[in-house]
Amino acid sequence: MYQLLLDSSNKFLSVGLSRDGKVLDKICYEAWQRQSEMMVTEIDNILKRNKVDKSELNAVVVGVGPGSYTGVRIGVTIAKTIAYALHIKLFAKSSLSLQKHRDFPTISVFNARSGRSYFGVYEGLKTIEKDCVVENEKVLEYIKAHPTYLVNGDTYQLGLESGSFDVIENLADLRDAQEVDPFKVVPVYLKDLLQ
């Protein structure tokens, strides 16, 4: 059985297909404010290209935020619809955690605008700092205090260059995913939770 992997929480559209935790194919490109136009088409493309019928899917894995308000809603809504329609499992993962490096502590950020960042810190399967919204000055202080940590994601607002990461590989690893009821999963925004 196959797993469909989805994330549209930031400027990139990510669609993948995995089997038993191994990524078979992926599509990832910048689609800022076009995710709603592209995601269903790319799901269809990846299934056709791999000759996988939707009846062969046993799970959908989706990044539930934080991130772009519209982008998060698109990914979550499509994942919920597929899981409900096909009667398959739905797994939710933090969109920030999708930027982590598997082998090194990682500070993960998205631009939350107004001088703030969505911020989370991960090491392997462990969450060091829970997802939150932090003023950019505090993020830079944290980075300075942890010079051996990687910094990944939307880092331009911090004046930094992002390290490399693979959203689809992180979606395929279900060890830190939470199975959720399609009727109860909601996007995670965090916008009003300034730390």
**Residue 159 CB neighbour total at 10 angstroms:** 8
Give SS3 for 46. Answer: helix
Q: Residue 7: what residue type?
A: D
pLDDT digits (tens, 9 = 90+) for 133-177: 999 999 999 999 999 999 999 999 999 999 999 999 999 999 999
44-98, pLDDT tens digit by residue?
Answer: 999 999 999 999 999 999 999 999 999 999 999 999 999 999 999 999 999 999 9
Going by C-alpha positions, the residue among 48, 33, 124, 64 that lies closest to residue 17 is 48
- pTM flag (> 0.85): yes
Topology agreement, domain 2-95+167-180 and domain 97-158: yes
Instruction: For domain 97-158, give its CATH number from 3.30.360.10, 3.30.420.200, 1.10.3720.10, 3.30.1640.10.
Output: 3.30.420.200
Query: How sure is the predictor about 36, in pLDDT bands with cuts at 50, 70 and 90?
Result: confident
Q: 6 with 28: CB under 8 angstroms? A: no
Do the Cβ atoms of 50 and 194 come closer than 8 Å? no
Per-domain boundaries in the chain: 2-95+167-180, 97-158
Q: Lowest-confidence range among 8-12, 16-20, 33-37, 76-80? A: 33-37
Q: State the Cα–Cα distance between residues 31 and 153, nearest whole angstrom.
A: 16
- The CATH T-level fold of domain 2-95+167-180 is Nucleotidyltransferase; domain 5 (3.30.420)
Residues 66, 94: Cα–Cα separation, whole Å: 7
Other CB atoms within a 10 A radius of the CB of residue 154 amount to 19
| Per-residue pLDDT at 195 exceeds 90 | no
Is pLDDT at 192 greater than 60 in this prediction? no
